[in-house]
Amino acid sequence: MKIIIPTIALIALTSLNTYASQGETLYKTYCISCHGDKAHGDGPAASALTESPSNIYEGLTSFFESDAELMETVLYGNEEMPAWGSVLNEKQVNQIFDYIKSIN
Ligand code: HEC
């Protein structure tokens, strides 16, 4: 019994960790070029766009925007923001949002 509890805790921790690091990998693969290291909208590709990429962290913590609206923008796109619905599912976008919250 004494061995089982730490083992369960370890498994839980490991899967939490994997969840966040999947968000990190996805963010770095698909989003960082425009949105920047901390998702503040200052990635290296941002200057090539006519519209500035949003500060995603601000969106996620804003009282005026819901996560559901942000999710919709990610899946369906908006002006210069590409639509990711054919590449990412909602769970993966939530992993990205969690990663962004964890680094700010
Ligand atoms: C080609 C550059 C580019 C890439 C790559 C990109 N975005 Fe964007 N994103 C934008 C631009 C530009 C906007 C602003 C669009 C607007 O306001 O109409 C935006 C807006 C957003 C918004 C809306 C924020 C708000 O406050 O309304 C979210 C959320 C977002 N992006 C998330 C992501 C995620 C997650 C990824 C990766 C899967 C990603 N973006 C990849 C350019 C990009």
Q: 12 in a domain, yes or no?
A: no
Residue 89 Cα to ligand 1 midpoint, Å, equals: 16
Per the structure, how many domains does the chain have?
1
Based on the number of CB atoms within 10 Å of its own CB, is 18 exposed (0-12), middle (13-18) or buried (19 or more)?
A: exposed
Per-residue pLDDT tens digits for 52-102: 999 999 999 999 999 999 999 999 999 999 999 999 999 999 999 999 999
- Predicted TM-score (pTM) of the model is 0.87
- Please spell the DSSP secondary structure of 24-64, one letter per residue: HHHHHHHTHHHH-TTSSS--TTGGGSSSPPP-HHHHHH-SS
Residue 94 belongs to domain with CATH number: 1.10.760.10
Q: 11 in a domain, yes or no?
A: no
Q: 4 in a domain, yes or no?
A: no
Nearest CA to ligand 1 atom 41: 31
Q: 1 in a domain, yes or no?
A: no
Residue-number span of the structural domain to which 50 is assigned:
18-31+38-103
- Per DSSP, 104 falls in state -
Q: 91 in a domain, yes or no?
A: yes
73 in contact with ligand 1, CB cutoff 6 A: yes
Q: According to the model, what pLDDT value does residue 11 have?
A: 57
Residue 77 Cα to ligand 1 midpoint, Å, equals: 7
Q: 96 in a domain, yes or no?
A: yes
Q: 5 in a domain, yes or no?
A: no
Here the tokens at position 62 are 């804003």
Q: Which amino acid is at 32?
A: I
